[in-house]
């Protein structure tokens, strides 16, 4: 397996202009950029995107979702700055944005304005809600998790809890990228651009659809994950002799027989009252204490070794930062490098797919503020003196070499 760099990338030749921030918008651009599109990030002159300065749980956003992109730092609230962006849009295939409803129209970058400049432009708008009663509300990942019941399903009864990652923002960006790819395909067929929109709320509703259908099928509301009746009898976290933890799942009748044989619980293996999954689910109160006590007597490595040997689903309980040392991600070539502002080189997971045996890694490091401002303006026909004048007046910014 190798990182794709010898052959033409799938989206090579596609130019994307993004006016985005936080996670949802940048994720869309990340997918397109990793696949070979030229993604130009428009960010405020001088200070750059506010996401660069987030701390706490947002401290990793910028470095995670902005590799393989260019940075044009420009004040689009000025006449000259907006003119630069419009000239750039005339050269683009795709425009993406994820600001509040009406924000792009207010500054002159709504779909109608851009379509007048580039009739076949594909305009991707990522919003909190699609058209309807909620469309003008302000949304966050956590807001829509609460609204759709995802937080209810994640936490224990009475304690709604957001998922432990920005699942809606990331998936929303992915859906946006999918619609962009579909629109590019259609444009190749009919020559026409279009407006596509993704909703964070609708994304979260899609995530909980399985629980909605559970109610439709069974007549009972789904219980939160910590108190649910699992579909499988053995599908839980178990404590080992060292007081560490391992998850084990036994999800078929064949796996049940294998599990009993692997761990020496022969009485369970021959017990006909435990032959089917539904029988075992009903007998959880009888079998789970025995299994827990047995696994508590065993070392963690022995438990995992048996599970791996016999093909049983298992996992140690990890923290995200443990993945920096994950042998599979490292040896499979599933990590790509980026350089932090202090010069430290770190690894981060690539997009989770291969194409013809190739993975898609970092070609261009996460950009400094305005790293590409001057070269982009040069391409648009601006003279060196004009670029310098715009910089002196604060319309654009770029690093001093």
Q: Which helix H or strand E contains 245, and what residues bound it?
A: strand 245-250
Mark whether 239 and 356 lie in a shared domain: no
CA 99 to chain centre: 18
389 in a structural domain: yes
The answer to whether the beta carbons of residues 251 and 297 sit under 8 Å apart is no
pLDDT tens for 242-258 read 999 999 999 999 999 99
Whether the predicted pLDDT of 315 surpasses 50: yes
Q: Residue 363's domain is classified under what CATH number?
A: 3.40.50.10540
Mark whether 136 and 191 lie in a shared domain: yes
Q: What is the DSSP letter of 355?
A: B
pLDDT score, position 231: 84
pLDDT tens for 17-34 read 999 999 999 999 999 999
Whether the predicted pLDDT of 3 surpasses 80: no
Dist CA 354 CA 3 (whole Å) = 9
Nearest to 269, CA basis, from 245, 285, 250? 250
Nearest to 46, CA basis, from 394, 352, 311? 394
pLDDT tens for 110-155 read 999 999 999 999 999 999 999 999 999 999 999 999 999 999 999 9
218 in a structural domain: no
pLDDT score, position 400: 84
In this prediction, residues 333-338 reach a mean pLDDT of 97
Mark whether 57 and 135 lie in a shared domain: yes
pLDDT tens for 164-205 read 999 999 999 999 999 999 999 999 999 999 999 999 999 999
pLDDT tens for 263-281 read 999 999 999 999 999 999 9
Mark whether 23 and 54 lie in a shared domain: yes
Whose tokens are 């397109």? That residue is: 32
Q: Which helix H or strand E contains 320, and what residues bound it?
A: none
- The Cα diameter of the chain in Å comes to 86
Mark whether 257 and 159 lie in a shared domain: no
Dist CA 369 CA 70 (whole Å) = 9
Domains contained in the chain, number: 2
pLDDT score, position 229: 73
The answer to whether the beta carbons of residues 152 and 160 sit under 8 Å apart is yes
Q: Which residues form the domain of 151?
A: 2-207+333-397
Q: Residue 249's domain is classified under what CATH number?
A: 3.30.1540.10
Whose tokens are 């770190």? That residue is: 346
Mark whether 199 and 178 lie in a shared domain: yes
Dist CA 32 CA 23 (whole Å) = 14
Mean pLDDT, the chain, as a whole number?
96
Instruction: Identify the band that residue 1 occupies on the pLDDT scale cut at 50, 70 and 90.
Output: very low
Q: Which two tokens stand for residue 346?
A: 């770190």
Whether the predicted pLDDT of 401 surpasses 80: no
pLDDT score, position 216: 98
The answer to whether the beta carbons of residues 293 and 238 sit under 8 Å apart is no
Dist CA 157 CA 144 (whole Å) = 19
Mark whether 120 and 241 lie in a shared domain: no
Show which of 320, 344, 375 is a domain's final residue: 320
Instruction: Identify the band that residue 6 occupies on the pLDDT scale cut at 50, 70 and 90.
Output: low
Distances (CA, A) of 25 to 82, 138, 361: 20, 15, 19
In this prediction, residues 218-223 reach a mean pLDDT of 95
């Amino acid at each position: 397996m190798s990182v794709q760099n010898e052959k033409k990338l799938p989206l090579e030749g596609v130019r994307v202009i993004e006016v985005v921030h936080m996670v949802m918008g940048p994720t869309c651009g990340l997918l397109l950029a990793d696949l070979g599109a030229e993604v130009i990030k428009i960010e405020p002159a001088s200070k750059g995107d506010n996401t660069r300065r987030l701390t706490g749980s947002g401290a990793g956003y910028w470095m995670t979702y902005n590799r393989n992109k260019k940075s044009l730092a420009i004040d689009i609230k000025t006449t000259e700055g907006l003119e630069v962006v419009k000239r750039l849009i005339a050269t683009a295939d795709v425009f993406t944005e994820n600001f509040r409803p009406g924000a792009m129209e207010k500054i002159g970058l709504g779909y109608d304005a851009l379509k007048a400049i580039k009739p076949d432009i594909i305009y991707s708008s990522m919003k909190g809600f699609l058209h309807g009663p909620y469309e003008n509300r302000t949304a966050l990942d956590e807001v829509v998790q609460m609204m759709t019941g995802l937080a209810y399903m994640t936490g224990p009864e009475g304690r709604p809890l957001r998922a432990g990652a920005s699942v809606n923002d990331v998936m929303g960006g992915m859906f946006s990228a999918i619609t962009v790819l579909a629109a590019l395909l259609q444009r190749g067929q009919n020559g026409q651009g279009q407006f596509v929109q993704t909703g964070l709320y609708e994304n979260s509703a899609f995530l909980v659809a399985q629980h909605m259908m559970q109610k439709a099928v069974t007549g009972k509301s789904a219980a939160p994950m910590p108190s649910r009746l699992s579909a499988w009898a053995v599908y839980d976290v178990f404590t080992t002799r060292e007081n560490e933890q391992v998850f084990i799942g036994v999800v078929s009748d064949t796996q049940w027989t294998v599990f009993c044989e692997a761990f020496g619980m022969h009485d369970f293996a021959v017990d006909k009252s435990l032959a089917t999954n539904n029988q075992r689910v009903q007998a959880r109160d009888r079998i789970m204490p025995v299994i827990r006590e047995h696994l508590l007597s065993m070392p963690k490595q022995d438990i995992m070794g048996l599970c791996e040997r016999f093909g049983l689903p298992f996992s140690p309980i990890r923290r995200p930062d443990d993945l920096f040392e994950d042998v599979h991600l490292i040896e499979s070539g599933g990590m790509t490098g980026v350089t932090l502002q202090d010069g430290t080189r770190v690894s981060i997971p690539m997009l989770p797919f291969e194409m013809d045996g190739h993975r898609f890694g970092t070609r261009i490091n996460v950009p400094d503020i305005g790293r590409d401002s001057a070269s982009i303006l040069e391409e648009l026909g601006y003279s060196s003196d004009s670029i310098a004048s715009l910089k002196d007046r604060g319309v654009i910014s770029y690093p001093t070499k």
